[in-house]
Amino acid sequence: MRCILIVSLFLFRLTIGFPIDQYPIAETARPVVIWHGLGDNWNSSGIHRVEEIFASYYPGIRVHSISLNDDPSKDQQRSMFGDANIDIEQVCDTLTNIDYLSNGFDAVGFSQGGVLMRALIERCASVKVINFISFGSPHMGVSELPLCDDKDWLCKRRNALLKKQIWYDSVQKRVIPAQYFRDPRQYDKYLEHSNLLVDINNEREDINSTYTERFSEINKLVLVSFLQDTTVVPKQSSMFGDMDYFGNEINWRDTRLYRDDLIGLRKLDQAGKVIMLEIDDEHMRIPEDMIHHIAKTYINH
């Protein structure tokens, strides 16, 4: 029950509008790999629409939608429950054995999928990501469960209870969103118990230089944030921003992760490879023109 309650607070799906038009044709294109978000699945209508838009610019483009199970309903469950480290290993093995990905691909991660995609880039030596596009992904974690209405005391009590359980080993190795929970007010517990994020952010004493090298080798890092986001708290996490113990916002360039270049973000920035885009809407409410902009500007470029 504990695991189900935690996941239920984070559920969302990719939502895109559907205007139709004609677009320029390209003869060849680099393949694309997409990792969907929490509560979504590899075969959803939103993912298919993204594939259609990419294909409208690059007919014949190969788009691989990551799945942890061929059954969409089971894949959806896998986005909520499991050990993210095992999932990343599985995806690494799968992508390594797809011939058309061997020369590199562009990667798109939606929300949670962006965090997992970054972990893949850092850990999987046999894949080569060229451009990485991340939509609303909590790269610096989430420090709060989704906000409750001011008068919803039941919701607030539930959140308080769940936050007390977030560091349990049974939760960290079973509930996917718990594995990128990161509260500056509980930073010591995060360093000790986090099952995923603390490792891929290189925040422990033993820095994995391989992560830094691999992530800094991508061609472009495109970070898309949602200005009205109340699912990812703090919302600047999608831009590698952070907050301090008192809840004050820390600009991404002022974080330890950037200053000490723990994952290669500073190197990418200094090379002019970091692009930041904003959507004035709620979490994962993506206007279709943004997908077109991504297709025209960052896919196959």
Catalytic residues: 111, 229, 283
Q: How far apart are CA 154 and CA 148, in angstroms?
A: 9
CA 300 to each of CA 13, 29, 60, 213: distance values in angstroms, whole numbers, following the listed order: 26, 6, 13, 23
Q: How far apart are CA 218 and CA 128, in angstroms?
A: 8
Q: Are 65 and 34 in contact (CB under 8 A)?
A: yes
Q: How far apart are CA 115 and CA 131, in angstroms?
A: 15
- Peptide linkage before 234 cis (omega within 30 of 0): yes
CA 133 to each of CA 65, 78, 138, 176, 243: distance values in angstroms, whole numbers, following the listed order: 14, 22, 13, 21, 23
Q: Are 105 and 96 in contact (CB under 8 A)?
A: no
Amino acid code (one letter) for 137: S
Q: Which of 280, 237, 298, 221 is nearest to 50 (CA)?
A: 298
Question: What is the residue-wise DSSP string for 148-211?
Answer: PPTT-HHHHHHHHHHHHHTT-HHHHTTBGGGGGB--GGGHHHHHHH-SSHHHHTT-SSS--HHH
Q: Which of 104, 114, 168, 160 is nearest to 136 (CA)?
A: 114
Q: Which of 29, 91, 6 is nearest to 296 (CA)?
A: 29
